[in-house]
Amino acid sequence: MGMTKFVLKRPITAILAVLCLLVFGLSSVFSSKLELTPEMNFPMLLVTTTYAGASPEDINDLVTKPIEESVGTLSGVKNIQSSSQQNISIVYMEYNYGTDMNKAYNDLKKKMDSLDLPKEVEKPSIMEFNINDMPSMTLSIKDPSQNNLYNYVNDKIVPEFEKITSVASVNISGGQEGYVRVNLIPEKMKQYHLNMDSISQAIKAADFTYPAGKTEVGKRELSVSTGVDVKTVEALKKVPIVASNGKTIYMEDIADISETNEKQTAIGRYNGDDTITVSLSKQQKNSAVDVSRAVKKTIESLEKDYSKLQVVVVDDTSDQITTALGSVKDTMIAAVIISMVIIFLFFGDIKASLIVGTSIPVSILVSLIMMAAMGFSLNVITMSSIVLGVGMMVDNSIVVLESCFRSQKGTGFREYMSAALEGTGVVMQSVLGGTLTTCVVFIPLAFLAGLTGQLFKPLGFTIVFCIMASFFSAITIVPLCYSRFRPVERQHSPMGGFVRGLQSIYRKIVDKLLNRRALVMVISVLLLLASFGFASKLGFELMPSVDQGTITVTAQMKPGIKVEEADKILKKLEGIVTSEEDLKSYMVSYGGQALSFSGGTNGTVTAYLKKDRKLTTDQVVNKWKKMMNQVPDCNVTVKSTSSVSDMGGGNKSDYEVILQSAQLDQLKQVSDQMVNELSARPEMIKVHSDLENAAPVIKVRVDPIQAAAEGISPAAVGGMLNGMLSGVKAMTMDVNGQNVDVKVQYPDDAYNTLEKVEGVLVPNNLGGSVALTDIAKIGYEDSPTAINRKNKQYLVTITGSFTDAVKNKKDKAAAIKELDSKVTGKYLNDSVTRAKNSEDASMQEELGNLMKAILIATFLVFVVMAAQFESFKFSLMVMTTIPFSLIGSFGCLLAAGVAISMPSMLGFLMLIGTVVNSGILYVDTVNQYRASMDKRTALVEAGATRLRPILMTTLTTIVSMVPMALGIGTNTETMQGLALVNVGGLTASTILSMLMLPVYYSLMSGKTDKTQLPD
């Protein structure tokens, strides 16, 4: 009351405070970063280690296992997952949330520095996983005037993008890199007794700069350096080499030297044309919008400098951000207008509507200021939380204004001042209690770790800011405006007759229900059981799929497949993609991709659909799946792609099983048997396992004893063979203003058969050579593409697709259940067990954390109400409104076909704090009325009296969420589940609690009143 009195006496001060909010609030808007989601940091580190020429088995035994043993003792490590592939080891460490990642990085670096690995293994590289490393822009670049587009883009275009301060990294893919090839002539090499290493060293020695000291020239002291520059191919041909007989020959005598392009290992196309793809990642301190503006400005400058250059922006995260935030803004404006209309319909006075409406801008401005102070960005989550809070922002103001009208006893200034003060005081406790119960439910969010905490903590804080601001607005701005503008309650407001009729009906219904309390209790139990029935029919997902119109098609092909064959497969997939009438553009990529745990050879087609498409993205995905399952020689995965839903791991195969075992051989045997049995089933097609797809390799098994006798190490043999087959980079030189590598190689057909490899001679330490077959056994062997492990257990993933016989979700669920029991179940034992995929594990963990938060929030709401009423029984009475809400929440989710996810679970948490507000107002009014009337009359009249404010507050809250609940606008799918839970829950709880709370009150209040209720 003190604050209300102060404002009524000092109106100028209050007005100035509102002006300050306006200035600082608008300033916060312009200074805040624009993002799609809140800033998230995942506690993950990645160790990559290269061992040239090593097979997956060798990588696993010599590199991966020692690294796993070393890092297993580090504190804070939650999971260790690894993949051993040809030439490379990938070890991925997931830490517990809350771990100091700077310390974790330093501890890991110390472990890697002290790790004893074979000397031929390169030093392990440590990378931190950062969501900012994801590309914020993707460009397609063409220039018909360039012979070598890759080198041109890499040397001329990429440096211009790297100059942009908001850009963190620039990656380039597609095309063929130009280089200078020193193509050795095997006969000449044998004639002069030379090897690849000596040629490489000769080239390096021919291009050097060496400091020779200083000398004085006149009055200046100048530095002196000596060296030789090799700037042209002609100069490279004249590089001298000393043969074994002491004779000096030249490079052109033993090699053919020319400028050429690398053998094609990658494919890049945009809308069917060959192209170079450039991906740009942003600095953490900058937003994607900043990057987009700067990059587009640079593109304009580049296209002026290079007339033939064509740069197309394929994907721009800033477009998604501005579109999504614009949609949320429109939803917010609609919610504000609808709320104002509802208030006018009930009060019938435009001034009353405007007075209540002042709570909305004041609350939003305070929220924006607090968000800026907390470092929150303006994103879909925080902006959606403001939309969700619009209806709740006016709740307190409606209750206060309605109470002021009831306290009005005259039309003079003093009477309005008195009514403002008295009316606010009457409902102060109810308003404060409702505010606190709404706010305390978000306290557990502040302590949640994991994805849930990082994604939704800003939402909780933002709603708390809104509600707290609306409370202070209700007890200050509303009474001040009421006393100054003097609104008049219209007896014949548009909804006045309806409310009076509803009050009359309500009195009759409650009076009858009080006579049938046993029936009410039975109905309560039945409604609760019905809500559980609805819940059992709902599915589960970590994050909802967002229809952003982007589809990713991934084709896993056989290891070792030629680029030409891979291109044929990709063109078949392109044909399906280009036949889609809703297609806007598409991009094809193959080779040169990021690190993968599959180890397979993957090609990707990324399709971008039109905004005004006839089908949803999921409908297109389902259509393409059926068509692409018919494409042979590849395993195709089709999924819709979005920034939010990808956090949950995205879509997976129709049927997926992950098995784990400590024995790799046993795991492979079981997986092969399962693949054969699943493939034989009529409802399954394209069944594969990531161990089945073994790549045949020529295995050179060096005998260490025989090799040592010749003065040769097994690792030296591996390094030499790697150079002979793949070539060795000797230097970098400038050719026509572009930096190109100089590589020493044998002809492509020099060692392309087993017989030719067997004929290799290996130099020893005595200056001679020994046949490779004398120190090693050589032959064909099957080798897995990758050996995957998690927490020291070997993993195999078996996937398959359903035929058209499995038509809908119900059929799919039945098929999965049957396959689990009849096929997968019989192969499981003590040695081979089933493991959860990362998405299911994350979903169980995150939804479990939210469930704990809901239980804690329920307890906190009970504590607040018990303190307010100073009564346990009244608190328990109001808590009964929570189960009433479940039937509406689950019913809405089921009707809309929306699964239970993190946002919908957050909706239940939010609902706990809002559904009790009507109950608090009702019970508080009953307690006040019982001072002047009997209990039965108080129970009936309290509900009838508070029916209008309860209807108004509930309607404004519900209607403001309806656009989001219906999924209207861009990116609304993210928060649709939350809105549905609240719309359904508030609707059901308001109706049921207003009818059943009187009965519960009569039962729980005992026989303390003289007037007894009939049985």
Give the Cα separation of 361 and 423 in Å (integer). Answer: 23
What are the phi and psi torsion angles at 635 (to 5°)? -110, 115
What are the phi and psi torsion angles at 272 (to 5°)? 90, -10
What are the phi and psi torsion angles at 404 (to 5°)? -65, -40
Query: 566 with 267: CB under 8 angstroms?
Result: yes
pLDDT tens-digit series, residues 364-395: 888 888 888 888 888 888 888 887 777 778 88
Contacts (Cβ under 8 Å, ≥6 apart) of 33? 286, 287, 377, 378
Q: Is residue 627 one of the residues assigned to a domain?
A: yes
- Total Cβ atoms within 10 A of residue 994: 24
**pLDDT given for residue 212 in this prediction:** 62
Q: What angle, rounded to 10 degrees, do the helices at 902-929 and 881-896 form?
A: 140
Domain co-membership, 998 together with 896: yes
Domain co-membership, 795 together with 716: no
Domain co-membership, 1012 together with 936: yes
pLDDT over 90 (residue 432): no
- Total Cβ atoms within 10 A of residue 125: 11
pLDDT over 70 (residue 132): no
Give the Cα separation of 86 and 812 in Å (integer). Answer: 37
**pLDDT given for residue 1012 in this prediction:** 41
pLDDT tens-digit series, residues 701-753: 888 888 888 888 887 887 788 888 888 888 888 776 677 889 999 998 888 88
Q: End of a domain among 129, 144, 167?
A: 129
Phi-psi region of 699 (alpha: psi -120 to 50; beta: other; left: phi over 0): beta
Higher pLDDT, 78 or 383: 78
**pLDDT given for residue 608 in this prediction:** 92
C-alpha 868: how far from its chain's center?
41
Using DSSP's 3-state secondary structure scheme, residue 545 falls into coil
Give the Cα separation of 153 and 309 in Å (integer). Answer: 10
**pLDDT given for residue 1007 in this prediction:** 52
Domain co-membership, 868 together with 933: yes
Tracing tokens 């819709």 back to the chain, one arrives at 640
The alpha carbon torsion through 898, 904, 907, 908 (nearest 10 deg) reads 100
In the beta sheet, which residues pair with residue 315? 138
Give the Cα separation of 310 and 278 in Å (integer). Answer: 13
What are the phi and psi torsion angles at 394 (to 5°)? -95, -5
The alpha carbon torsion through 83, 89, 95, 99 (nearest 10 deg) reads -170
Domain co-membership, 756 together with 805: no
- Token readout for 930 is 């019982």
Average pLDDT over residues 131-142: 82
Query: 696 with 781: CB under 8 angstroms?
Result: yes
**pLDDT given for residue 1010 in this prediction:** 41
Phi-psi region of 592 (alpha: psi -120 to 50; beta: other; left: phi over 0): left
In the beta sheet, which residues pair with residue 91? 47, 82
C-alpha 861: how far from its chain's center?
32
**pLDDT given for residue 1014 in this prediction:** 42
Q: What angle, rounded to 10 degrees, do the helices at 350-357 and 395-407 form?
A: 140
Q: What is the pTM assigned to this prediction? A: 0.77
Average pLDDT over residues 10-18: 86
Tracing tokens 């009529």 back to the chain, one arrives at 682
Strands 178-184 and 738-745: parallel
Q: Is residue 63 one of the residues assigned to a domain?
A: yes
Q: Is residue 721 one of the residues assigned to a domain?
A: yes
Domain co-membership, 925 together with 898: yes
Average pLDDT over residues 222-231: 66
Domain co-membership, 727 together with 769: yes
**pLDDT given for residue 585 in this prediction:** 93
What are the phi and psi torsion angles at 266 (to 5°)? -135, 155
Give the Cα separation of 131 and 42 in Å (integer). Answer: 8
Residues above pLDDT 70, as percent of the chain: 94
**pLDDT given for residue 415 in this prediction:** 86
**CATH code for position 672:** 3.30.70.1440
Q: Is residue 771 one of the residues assigned to a domain?
A: yes
**pLDDT given for residue 161 in this prediction:** 93
Residues above pLDDT 90, as percent of the chain: 19
Tracing tokens 């505010």 back to the chain, one arrives at 435
- Token readout for 333 is 């404006």
- How many domains is the chain built from? 5
Domain that holds residue 558: 549-641
**pLDDT given for residue 894 in this prediction:** 92
How far is CA 29 from each of CA 24, 33, 383, 465, 468, rounded to the nearest angstrom? 9, 9, 11, 15, 20
Give the Cα separation of 19 and 24 in Å (integer). Answer: 9
- Token readout for 241 is 């080499």
Q: End of a domain among 836, 851, 866?
A: 836
Contacts (Cβ under 8 Å, ≥6 apart) of 430? 399, 920, 921, 924, 925
C-alpha 775: how far from its chain's center?
52
Q: Is residue 285 one of the residues assigned to a domain?
A: no
Q: Is residue 342 one of the residues assigned to a domain?
A: no
- Token readout for 407 is 């306290």
What are the phi and psi torsion angles at 349 (to 5°)? -135, 125
Domain co-membership, 718 together with 827: no
**CATH code for position 605:** 3.30.70.1430
C-alpha 880: how far from its chain's center?
37
Using DSSP's 3-state secondary structure scheme, residue 180 falls into strand
Domain co-membership, 673 together with 822: yes
Higher pLDDT, 308 or 1007: 308
**CATH code for position 873:** 1.20.1640.10
Domain co-membership, 884 together with 998: yes
**Which residue type occupies 935?**
K
b/e per residue, 296-329, with b = 16+ CB within 10 A? eebbeebeeebeebebbebbbbbebbbbbbebbe
**Which residue type occupies 810?**
K
CA 639-640-642 angle, to 5 degrees, is: 130
Number of residues assigned to the chain: 1015
Q: Is residue 682 one of the residues assigned to a domain?
A: yes
Q: Is residue 272 one of the residues assigned to a domain?
A: no
328-337, 672-681, 990-999, range with the lowest pLDDT: 328-337
Using a 10 angstrom Cβ sphere, with 0-12 exposed, 13-18 middle and 19 or more buried, the burial of residue 684 is: buried
Give the Cα separation of 141 and 592 in Å (integer). Answer: 17
Query: 914 with 986: CB under 8 angstroms?
Result: yes
In the beta sheet, which residues pair with residue 276? 141
Cα atoms in the Cβ-side hemisphere of radius 13 Å centred on 11: 10
- Token readout for 270 is 């945009």
**CATH code for position 772:** 3.30.2090.10
Q: What is the DSSP letter of 296?
A: H
End-to-end CA distance of the chain: 42
Tracing tokens 């929220």 back to the chain, one arrives at 367
Computed over every residue of the chain, the mean pLDDT equals 85
Give the Cα separation of 693 and 633 in Å (integer). Answer: 11
What are the phi and psi torsion angles at 725 (to 5°)? -90, -35
Domain co-membership, 844 together with 968: yes
Give the Cα separation of 912 and 304 in Å (integer). Answer: 60
* Residue 446 binned pLDDT confidence (cut-offs 50, 70, 90): confident
Domain co-membership, 776 together with 856: no
DSSP for 586-632, written as a single string: EEEEESSPPP-SS-SEEEEEEEEE-TT-SS-HHHHHHHHHHHHTT-S
Nearest in space to 743 (alpha carbons), one of 196, 190, 121, 191? 196
Average pLDDT over residues 493-514: 87
pLDDT tens-digit series, residues 148-199: 788 888 888 999 999 999 888 898 888 778 888 999 998 888 888 888 888 8
Give the Cα separation of 520 and 359 in Å (integer). Answer: 38
Give the Cα separation of 176 and 172 in Å (integer). Answer: 11
Give the Cα separation of 372 and 26 in Å (integer). Answer: 11
Q: End of a domain among 607, 641, 675?
A: 641
**pLDDT given for residue 1008 in this prediction:** 47
82-96, 481-495, 768-782, range with the lowest pLDDT: 481-495
pLDDT over 90 (residue 463): no
Average pLDDT over residues 588-598: 66
**pLDDT given for residue 1009 in this prediction:** 46
* Residue 755 binned pLDDT confidence (cut-offs 50, 70, 90): confident
